[in-house]
Amino acid sequence: MRKRIYSLLLCGAMLTASLFGCGNSEGGSTAAGNQTGDGTTQTTTSKDGGLDVGIVLPTKDEPRWLQDQKQFDKILGEQGFSSKVLFSQGKAETEKTNVEALINDGVKVLIICAQDATAGGAAVQEAKDAGITVICYDRLITDTEAVDYYVTFDSVAVGRAQGQYLIDNAPAAKGVPLYLYAGGATDNNAFLFFQGAWEVLQPKIADGTFVIANSDEAEKLADKAELTRDEEAKIIGQITTDWDFNVAKSKAEAHLTANDASKKGDVCILAPNDGTARSIADAFAADGDVKTYVITGQDAEVASVNYIMNGKQNMTVFKNTSILAADSCAMAAAILKNTTPETATTYNNGAKDVPAKQTDVTVVTKDNYKEVLVDSGYYTQDDIDQAK
Ligand code: BGC
């Protein structure tokens, strides 16, 4: 069997993620971060004049990354790290400039969620050359040796959960139209999500339960259980949303315009995340020939929790950003203390096996959103109500 690069290599006992497991930074001197005019957050520099931890996130235009920022500010502030959070606003060039700004600030540990898995390589190489330890956050930077650690959710499990939800909740009929959508093709996670979804959906496509309604590349590969990266790229190239609500909406509208009523009726939709799910759902709801749809999501954004409560979206996959942020802070703390961070697995990024820590994900529906998201304290009911 072909060995898949960029894939998870299990390498040891499962270690439990420690919530808020950060140590104090040596020389750290600051309290919680201050919000600046452009939405970034910054604390004062450490006593030795540098910056303990610099964080680069993809965009502040998606609620998902604002959740991560909130967690970082809270944890790093509590632990006394000096830190700065910068956003790349969907641009690999801004990401590179952000990394360079942090290098100029004398950052010691860089936590980066790359905008572009390949382009990110040049930015982290500059950081490595400056002696900085690099932690990939949520998204893996590929084809470079300039990454030291990776902190992530189980992204293949996200896709599996989405696919399985569609199987379990599809109309009881043969030949259900299946619309496939994917994330941005420059994000390695888009491949992992699709890989997981395909793994469970493909047998149901092959046996005729589902009929693919919007990708002839996927139709051509309908009998293939395990896809190569190139095959995945061909399908994703057709069904990508670029992680952009507007792209997702116009693509869904174009698919609906191109299809006749035989590909409508009661349908299932694989939507990669909540932002794209809401706009795809709106497009399907507006089509007179679509009677019912079942649609997936990811991130448990408050707007999607409302969609789920109102029956406009069926599920989301909750990824607890407080655990991910805490795990990266714990790694940063270990590095700042010159000790080896705790890892439990490795991911191959095409150039090396990157020591990694991985967190499980949870399926959220109308039935359990309160218990998982509100009773746990992740959101207040007010947070959810305000997004109505
Ligand atoms: C993240 C998702 C997010 C998406 C779009 C992915 O890499 O894992 O949580 O919805 O990017 O920003």
Please indicate whether residue 99 or residue 36 has the higher confidence score (pLDDT): 99
In the sheet that holds 34-35, the strands lie side by side as: 8-10, 345-348, 353-359, 149-153, 133-137, 107-112, 51-57, 83-87, 41-42, 34-35
Using the CB atoms, write b or e for 118-131: b if 16+ within 10 Å: ebbbbbbbbbbeee
For tokens 């971060």, the residue is: 33
For the CA of 274, the nearest atom of ligand 1: 10
Strand, coil or helix: what is 222?
Answer: coil
Q: How far is the CA of 314 from the centre of ligand 1 (A)?
A: 19
On the question of pLDDT at 20 being above 70, the answer is no
Strand, coil or helix: what is 76?
Answer: helix
Q: How far is the CA of 288 from the centre of ligand 1 (A)?
A: 31
Q: How far is the CA of 384 from the centre of ligand 1 (A)?
A: 20
User: Which amino acid, residue 68?
Assistant: D
State pLDDT tens for residues 328-360: 999 999 999 999 999 999 999 999 999 999 999
Supply 57's token pair.
């996130």
Do 84 and 105 touch, CB atoms closer than 8 A? yes
Backbone torsions φ then ψ of 267, nearest 5 degrees: -125, 165
Q: Which residues contact 278 (CB under 8 A, 6 or more apart)?
A: 245, 297, 303, 304, 307, 312, 313
Task: Kindly state the helix (H) or strand (E) to which residue 308 belongs, with its residue range.
Answer: helix 302-309
State pLDDT tens for residues 58-100: 999 999 999 999 999 999 889 888 999 999 999 999 999 999 9
State pLDDT tens for residues 211-231: 999 999 999 999 999 999 999
For the CA of 273, the nearest atom of ligand 1: 10
Is the alpha carbon torsion for 89, 284, 232, 247 positive or negative? negative
Query: Which residues have C-beta atoms less than 6 Å from ligand 1?
Result: 58, 62, 64, 138-139, 183, 187, 189, 243, 273, 298-299, 319
Task: Kindly state the helix (H) or strand (E) to which residue 110 belongs, with its residue range.
Answer: strand 107-112
State pLDDT tens for residues 233-277: 999 999 999 999 999 999 999 999 999 999 999 999 999 999 999
**Residue to mutate (ligand 1; options 186, 244, 299, 361; most atoms within 8 A of CB):** 299
Q: How far is the CA of 115 from the centre of ligand 1 (A)?
A: 10
Supply 272's token pair.
């990669």
Supply 355's token pair.
């020591």
For residue 296, the 8-state DSSP code is -
pLDDT at 44: 55
Q: Whose CA is nearest to atom 6 of ligand 1?
A: 189
Hey, which residues does 294 pair with through a beta bridge? 268
**pLDDT grade, residue 27 (50/70/90)?**
very low
Task: Kindly state the helix (H) or strand (E) to which residue 160 belongs, with its residue range.
Answer: helix 155-169
